[in-house]
Amino acid sequence: MTLNLNKTILLLIIIGAIVVAVIFFIENSNSQKTIVMGVTEYLNDGNYTINKTSHVFFNDYRSLKPGDTLIIKDKIVQPPKYGYDRFLKINATSLTISGPDKDSWPIVIYVKENVTDEYKVGDLIEVTLHIGYYDIHQKWYDGSMWHIYGELPDECILNGEYTGGEIIVPPTQVKKVG
């Protein structure tokens, strides 16, 4: 009888260990991450498909998943400019940032307030973005209807529509770090 009791206890311990291991694996495999990238790294991380015939745009990041936080860290390469953007239909400060390489493509961050006095060319900044999954059907500027889906920064969605990749943030999501 003692032998059966010992086997039962051992079996319960093994089952308990397996349950704990499975829970640990599930929690860690779904964990959200914060990842820091430069502009070039960010642009190269996107794996996107555009079909201009069927009007479909799909994006899937290699390193990022929905729920992740992305910090783009790079230098301002053009003087900040505040004004009305006709494409986005908002007043914003444009901060153009780029990597240190001459071959790096710049990206423009639109800050929803006039912050031109806070930043200058050469400042190293961090821009915090949040990755989400979207499935949007919207009329594009040429009148065509597009299906846009996949992983995108929340900050590229304005009034429920995809901005075409333009990043729009409040001032609290931009900080000077050098």
Q: Which residues are bridge partners to 70 per DSSP?
A: 35, 129
- Give the C-alpha distances (Å, rounded to integers) separating 2 from 7, 8, 9, 22, 79: 9, 10, 10, 30, 81
Q: What is the pLDDT of residue 110?
A: 97
Q: What is the pLDDT of residue 19?
A: 61
- pLDDT category of residue 16 using cuts at 50, 70 and 90: low
Residues 76 and 125: beta-carbon distance below 8 Å: yes
State yes or no: pLDDT of 27 exceeds 60. no
Nearest to 114 by CA among 97, 90, 130: 90
Nearest to 59 by CA among 40, 44, 39: 44
- pLDDT category of residue 29 using cuts at 50, 70 and 90: low
State yes or no: pLDDT of 54 exceeds 90. yes
For 96, other C-beta atoms within 10 Å of its C-beta total: 18
- Residues 112-136 pLDDT 10s: 999 999 999 999 999 999 999 999 9
Residues 170 and 109: beta-carbon distance below 8 Å: no
Q: Which DSSP category does 114 fall into? A: -
State yes or no: pLDDT of 20 exceeds 60. no
Task: Report the predicted TM-score, pTM, of the whole model to 2 decimal places.
Answer: 0.80
- pLDDT category of residue 90 using cuts at 50, 70 and 90: very high
Residues 138 and 164: beta-carbon distance below 8 Å: no
Q: Which DSSP category does 14 fall into? A: H
- Distance CA(109)–CA(130), nearest Å, equals 14
Q: Which residues are bridge partners to 157 per DSSP?
A: 162
